[in-house]
């Protein structure tokens, strides 16, 4: 699984002018299940735990030393198959690295449940919909996580 995290002071996602998810301070997580995620439910657990504990929020001294859990922040999770893009050749990316739609949706919902299990409030987009995401990136702080990298490094 791949995730792009953005520390936000606020974020929301709309589908057909309807707000499907909205948060104040916390994290916007764009998530993509990848082709060949062999232990995807375990990977969703690892990723959710890592995200909830990442120390990317400022402490009293202004240092990035607090997690979204420490700050009691919320999480907005939005599915984004384009994170699986392969743009190595040509000018039109291939998205065949992303998991097929049915599997991707199952794993998206699995990740959302694992994220909720960390105790953070979780809002979501709508899988497969044409979504409009707006955010105020705080910092800006943006990080890329891939479970392939996490499993090699011992999480």
The residues that are catalytic are 80-82
What is the rounded CA–CA span in Å between residue 49 and residue 31?
14
Residues 6+ apart with CB under 8 A from 62: none
Q: Could you give the angle at which helices 101-116 and 40-53 cross, rounded to 10 degrees?
A: 40
SS (H, E, C) 51-102: HHHCCCEECCCCCEEECCCCCCCEEEEEECHHHHCECCCCCCCECCCECCHH
C-beta of residue 74 within 8 angstroms of C-beta of residue 24: yes
């Amino acid at each position: 699984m791949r995730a792009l995290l953005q520390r936000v002071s606020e974020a929301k996602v709309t589908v057909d002018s309807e707000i499907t998810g909205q948060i104040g301070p916390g994290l916007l997580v764009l998530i993509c299940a990848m082709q060949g995620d062999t232990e995807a439910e375990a990977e969703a657990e690892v990723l959710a735990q890592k995200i909830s504990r990442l120390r990317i929020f400022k402490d009293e001294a202004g240092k990035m030393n607090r997690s979204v859990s420490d700050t009691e922040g919320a999480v907005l999770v939005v599915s984004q198959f384009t994170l699986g893009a392969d743009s190595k050749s040509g000018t039109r990316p291939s998205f065949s690295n992303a998991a097929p739609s049915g599997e991707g949706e199952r794993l998206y919902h699995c990740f959302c449940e694992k994220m909720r299990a960390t105790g953070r409030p979780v809002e979501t987009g709508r899988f497969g919909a044409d979504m409009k995401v707006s955010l105020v990136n705080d910092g800006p702080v943006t990080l890329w996580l891939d479970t392939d990298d996490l499993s090699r490094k011992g999480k």
